[in-house]
Amino acid sequence: MRVIKNPKEMTKASRETRAKGKTIGFVPTLGYLHDGHKALISAAKKENDVVIVSRFVNPLQFRAKAFAVYPRDEKMDIAICRDAGVDCLFSPSTEAMYPEGFDTSVEVEDLTGRLEGARIRWHYRGVTTVVAKLFNIVQPDRAYFGKKDAHQLAILKRMTDDLNFPIRIVSVATRRAGDGLALSSRNSMLTPEERVAAVVIPRSVKAVAQMVKSGNRDRAGMSKTLRAMIEKEPNAKVDFAAVVDAETLRDDVYGASTLVYTAVFVGGKRLTDNMVVKSKT
């Protein structure tokens, strides 16, 4: 497995791969890889000749304090990628991605402001900016993202269409621990007590998803119920809870499926979870 740090070298390697008629599957990550990432890698391996993973803690999508403490372990990431049969790991430095004078950002306007996006526009702008850069550097045929980050996924699909990236976005089901908690690198930052408390999140999302399945259309009421269920746990503080149309992320549109979405602080760590359910016709 090759480990490439330089963006130009990465693009050269990708071009050589494509020149040989091989397809590239790309898994962008923040590093500190876990089973959720392994599921993305294994989906990419099934559909492509070559798999490239990137690990980059993107400063544009974090507040300074969170960026400083985000877990990093390059050796572990290299070992996991090797084990999983990845062909190339792109692991650039901040300076390589954002050299002095870097002055461009990419923003998907309407979708970014939906759900809790109005408050954290800067975060999603950071995500779209780095993913647009990574798409240009890696030039894959397909890119793999988890369904767990439902808002991010909707925004990235829109960006890929709007900017004519010749890339297919593939979404992969959320991997969960035995007790239901969605896998995330952030789980490693929870204390044992917080880890137990966090289970209230998937339980409550599932209960509200069940209400949607049974035909409940009172989205404002279900959002309140979701918040109340989660906050019964003293260690959990809901940052955002919503029940919306899964495609437009609007609460006044009733399409084919419905998204139950929440972002919750557990001991100061922000965890997100969601479920998409077919709306009852």
According to DSSP H, which parts of the chain are helical?
A: 7-19, 35-47, 64-69, 74-83, 94-97, 109-113, 121-138, 150-162, 192-197, 200-213, 219-230
We find the least distance from the C-beta atom of residue 127 to ligand PAF, in angstroms, to be: 5
We find the least distance from the C-beta atom of residue 254 to ligand PAF, in angstroms, to be: 28
Query: Which of residues 36 and 200 has its CB atom nearest to ligand PAF in the complex?
Result: 36
34 counts as catalytic: no
CB-based contact 2:88 (threshold 8 Å): yes
Among 34, 37, 123, 151, the active-site one is 37
We find the least distance from the C-beta atom of residue 48 to ligand PAF, in angstroms, to be: 18
We find the least distance from the C-beta atom of residue 148 to ligand PAF, in angstroms, to be: 9
Binding site for ligand PAF (CB under 6 A): 28-30, 58, 61, 127, 130-131, 149, 152
CB-based contact 50:22 (threshold 8 Å): yes
CB-based contact 135:29 (threshold 8 Å): no
Query: Which of residues 127 and 190 has its CB atom nearest to ligand PAF in the complex?
Result: 127
Closest residue to ligand PAF in the complex (CB): 28
Query: Which of residues 61 and 174 has its CB atom nearest to ligand PAF in the complex?
Result: 61
Q: In a 10 Å sphere around its CB, with 0-12 CB exposed, 13-18 middle and 19+ buried, how is residue 83 labelled?
A: exposed
Q: In a 10 Å sphere around its CB, with 0-12 CB exposed, 13-18 middle and 19+ buried, how is residue 260 labelled?
A: buried
Query: Which of residues 126 and 235 has its CB atom nearest to ligand PAF in the complex?
Result: 126
CB-based contact 205:174 (threshold 8 Å): no
Active site residues: 37
